[in-house]
Amino acid sequence: MTQLPTDIKLHKASRTLTLTYASGEEYTLPAEFLRVHSPSAEVQGHGKPILQFGKINVGLTKLEPAGQYALKLTFDDGHDSGLFTWEYLYELGRRHDALWEDYLAELKAAGKTRDPNESVVKLML
Q: What is the CATH number of the domain that holds 24?
A: 3.30.2020.30
pTM assigned to the model: 0.91
What is the residue range of 28's domain?
5-124
pLDDT of residue 124: 47
Q: Give dist(CA 108, CA 63) in Å, integer.
A: 31
The pLDDT tens digits of the residues spanning 36-55 come to 999 998 899 888 889 999 99
By three-state DSSP, how is residue 75 classified?
strand
**β partners of residue 70:** 66, 85
Q: What is the mean pLDDT of the chain?
A: 92
pLDDT tops 90 at residue 87: yes
Cα(first)–Cα(last) distance of the chain, in Å?
Answer: 53
pLDDT for 59-75, tens place per residue? 999 999 999 999 999 99
Task: List strands edge to edge, sheet with 70-75.
Answer: 60-66, 70-75, 83-85
Work out how many domains the chain is built from and give that number: 1
Q: Would you say 124 and 118 are in contact if contact means Cβ atoms under 8 Å apart?
A: no
